[in-house]
Amino acid sequence: MSRLVVVSNRVADLESGAQSGGLAVAVASMLEETGGLWFGWDGNIIEEETERTPNIVRHGRATVATIPLSRSEYETYYLGYSNKVLWPSFHYRLGLLDYESSFNEGYRRVNAMIADHLATMISPTDLVWIHDYHLIPLASELRKRGVKSRIGFFLHIPFPPPDVVVAVPEHAWLIETMFAYDVVGFQTSSDVTNFQRYVLEQADGVLKAGGQMSAFGRTIVVRSFPIGIDVDAVAKMAHTPEADASIRLLATRTLNRAQIIGVDRLDYTKGLPDRVRAFRRLLELYPENIKRVILMQIAPPTREEVAAYVEIREELEGLSGNINGEFGDFDWTPVRYIHRAIPRDILAALFRGSKAGLVTPLRDGMNLVAKEYIAAQDEDDPGVLILSRFAGAAEDLEEALIVNPYDMDDVATAMQRALKMPLQERVERHRALLGRARAHDVTHWREQFLKALANAQHRYAA
Ligand code: GDG
């Protein structure tokens, strides 16, 4: 079995595995099996840009190698190019693109620096799996340093249509670097189509049999690998005696009011202000819900050094405050907003204790919260998932109530429908959704990707 080398912007903390998500656990278990390596930024920032050597720690058979970033690398590579250029544009939000040429220089420099370290740690028989938009050009940097291993890339965020991609000033260079991989994986078939269109229209590429594409003198495999969760782990967390107790306490505290839950990093892609507006619309269109329903929104902070994130927080807090002031009463707070991360087990209990899960991003690569909400439900009395058509998850989770997050009335009507849905319909929809979450779980995702990578023609072999 080949050794697996995983590279991502951040590595998960394998020590505190209890709090880690399914992805980290799935990758970690694979690394343990193969004695693999995980390389990434350690989350620290050093003021001076000095020569650095990775810090290497062993966890069982797995090795974790991390490296700090300098202040200027953090500002250009991470905050700048990754999160002010690629993140907004790949989420179709060109109005939020905030470009400086120094960002791209920093992005190239950090990818080259990582390649310098990694190239010495990789052997030709390794399978190298690189993750996400921070590291798109990493394979091309590794190839320059003579790395001949099979290298795969998985994009966790959407890939937009060519008209949007071309707004990124270095798009031609960026997409060309993707042809240094052997396999390029996306979340959904529409991301694959968008990528194919770019390659055909902008790069004179050719689409070949078996999902292969040729351009820039190279041929790569391009496919979708929809990411999933560890369904049993979430279900188990939602059904412990402690979870039972939390749900009972919640019911007492809220006087048995129906709860609708949203859980999202406070990111402008997640559609949080629109969601709160839709909740207001629910109270206006269906006033029977006044004093009977609560929207619980958990929105932990993220990327607060980027101005667009400060603005979205202010907007969300303003809207929540307005509803609570206007509709609330001494014994009812309509919107409960928590700007903090909640432990995973509590989250699972909250999912199970909520009549509806509200997942309404304006654009999302997949959205794991949708799948976690399904996994946490009681099979004989499940809640209803309301899902944005713009989440990658909507391509598969057809039995959810699919909504347009820009249309407040549509979302409000779906909430009302979820609150009123008869038990039999809830059970049937949930059974189908759970089957889909199981069929496309995180193990399936990992295995499918690594199988495609292992089977890819070894074009760089000496
Ligand atoms: C990117 C793509 C794609 C959230 N709040 C808390 C908490 N979470 C956990 C959720 C879930 C994870 O974080 C979020 O995953 P999502 O998939 O919803 O979204 P992104 O963070 O934007 O992830 C996305 C994903 O990558 C995987 O490929 O699906 O489209 O944008 O697991 O439960 N966890 C804890 N406390 C919180 O308060 N413990």
Query: pLDDT tens for residues 324-344?
Result: 999 999 999 999 999 999 999
* Single-letter code of the amino acid located at 162: P
Within a domain: 462: no
8 Å CB contact between 170 and 136: no
Output the pLDDT for position 275: 98
User: Which residues lie across from 337 on neighbouring strands?
Assistant: 297
In this structure, are 219 and 332 located in the same domain?
Answer: no
Q: Is the CB of 18 under 6 A from ligand 1?
A: no
Tell me the per-residue pLDDT of 269-321, one tens digit each, with 9 for 90 and over. Answer: 999 999 999 999 999 999 999 999 999 999 999 898 888 899 999 999 999 99
- Mean local confidence (pLDDT), 134-159: 97
Q: Is residue 214 located within the same domain as residue 262?
A: no
- Residue 22: predicted pLDDT: 58
Distances (CA, A) of 45 to 12, 49, 64: 17, 10, 18
Pair (244, 218) in one structural domain? no
Evaluate: CB of 298 within 6 angstroms of ligand 1: yes
Q: Which are the contacts of 407, defined by CB distance < 8 A and separation ≥ 6?
A: none
pLDDT confidence of 461, banded at 50, 70, 90?
A: low
Which protein residue's CA is at the shortest distance from atom 21 of ligand 1? Answer: 265
Does residue 462 carry a pLDDT above 70? Answer: no
Is 156 an annotated catalytic residue?
Answer: yes
3-state secondary structure 60-119: CCEEEEEEEEEHHHHHHHHHHHHHHHHHHHHCCCHHHCCCCHHHHHHHHHHHHHHHHHHH
How do beta strands 218-224 and 183-186 pair? parallel
For residue 188, what is the domain's CATH number? 3.40.50.2000
Mode of pairing for the β-strands spanning 384-388 and 401-403? parallel
pTM, two decimal places: 0.97
Has residue 214 got a pLDDT over 50?
Answer: yes
In this structure, are residues 165 and 198 in contact, taking their beta carbons and an 8 Å threshold? yes
Q: What's the gap in Å between 286 CA and the centre of ligand 1?
A: 31
- The rounded percent of the chain whose pLDDT value lies above 70 is 97
Q: Is 341 in the pocket of ligand 1 (CB under 6 A)?
A: yes
Mean pLDDT of 131-145: 97
199 Cα: distance to centroid of ligand 1 (angstroms):
30
Residues 174 and 304 in one domain: no
In this structure, are 56 and 189 located in the same domain? Answer: yes
Whether 229 shows a pLDDT value over 60: the answer reads yes
Mean pLDDT for the chain overall:
94
SS3 370: helix
**Looking at the domain assignment, is residue 280 inside a domain?**
yes
Q: Judge if the beta carbon of residue 408 lies within 6 A of ligand 1.
A: no
- 48 pLDDT band, cuts 50/70/90, is confident
368 lines ligand 1 (CB under 6 A): yes
CA of 263 to the centre of ligand 1 (A): 8
Query: CA of 48: how far to CAs of 52, 72, 73, 78, 148, in Å?
Result: 11, 9, 10, 17, 33
Whats the size of the chain, residue-wise? Answer: 462
CA of 418 to the centre of ligand 1 (A): 23
Q: Do 278 and 182 share a structural domain?
A: no
| pLDDT at residue number 15 | 65
Q: Are residues 37 and 164 in the same domain?
A: yes
Atom number of ligand 1 nearest to Cα 302: 21
pLDDT at 418: 98
Bridge-based pairing of strands 55-59 and 37-46 is unpaired
CB neighbour list of residue 108: distance below 8 Å, 6 or more residues apart: 137
* Neighbour-count burial for 389-410, b at 16+ CB within 10 Å, e otherwise: ebbbbbbbbebbbbbebeebeb
Per the structure, the complete domain to which residue 372 belongs is given by 231-439
Q: Which of 248, 264, 253, 188 is nearest to 222 (CA)?
A: 188
Same domain, 366 and 241: yes
Same domain as 134, residue 23: yes
Task: Answer for the pair 172, 443: CB distance below 8 angstroms, yes or no.
Answer: no
Helices (H), 181-288: 189-202, 231-238, 241-253, 272-285
Question: Which residue's CA lies nearest to atom 1 of ligand 1?
Answer: 156
Cβ-based neighbours of 399, under 8 Å, separated by 6 or more: 428, 429, 430, 432, 433, 436
Indicate if ligand 1 lies below 6 Å from the C-beta of 364.
Answer: yes
Residue whose Cα lies nearest atom 26 of ligand 1: it is 156
Residue 244 bears catalytic tag: no
Long-range contacts of 24-29, Cβ-Cβ distance < 8 Å, separation of 24 or more: 25/230, 25/233, 25/442, 26/230, 26/442, 26/443, 26/445, 26/446, 27/446, 28/59, 28/62
pLDDT band at 250 (very low <50, low <70, confident <90, very high): confident
- Which amino acid makes up residue 47? E
Q: How far is the CA of 209 from the centre of ligand 1 (A)?
A: 34
Give 21 Cα–ligand 1 centroid separation in angstroms: 8
The catalytic position among 364, 396, 410, 441 is: 364
- Whether 262 and 410 map to the same domain: the answer is yes
Q: Which whole number is the average pLDDT over 156-164?
A: 98
pLDDT tens-digit map of 398-443: 999 999 999 999 999 999 999 999 999 999 999 999 999 999 999 9
Same domain for 250 and 180, yes or no, is no
Candidate from 27, 339, 366, 373 with most ligand 1 atoms within 8 A of CB, to mutate: 366
Catalytic option among 156, 267, 274, 345: 156
Pairing of strands 62-70, 55-59: antiparallel
* Within-domain flag for 461: no
Indicate if 185 and 51 belong to the same structural domain.
Answer: yes
The answer to whether position 405 is within a domain reads: yes
Provide the domain count of the chain: 2
* Smallest CA separation from ligand 1 atom 27, residue: 156
Mean pLDDT along residues 107-117: 97
pLDDT bin (cut points 50, 70, 90) of residue 18 is very low
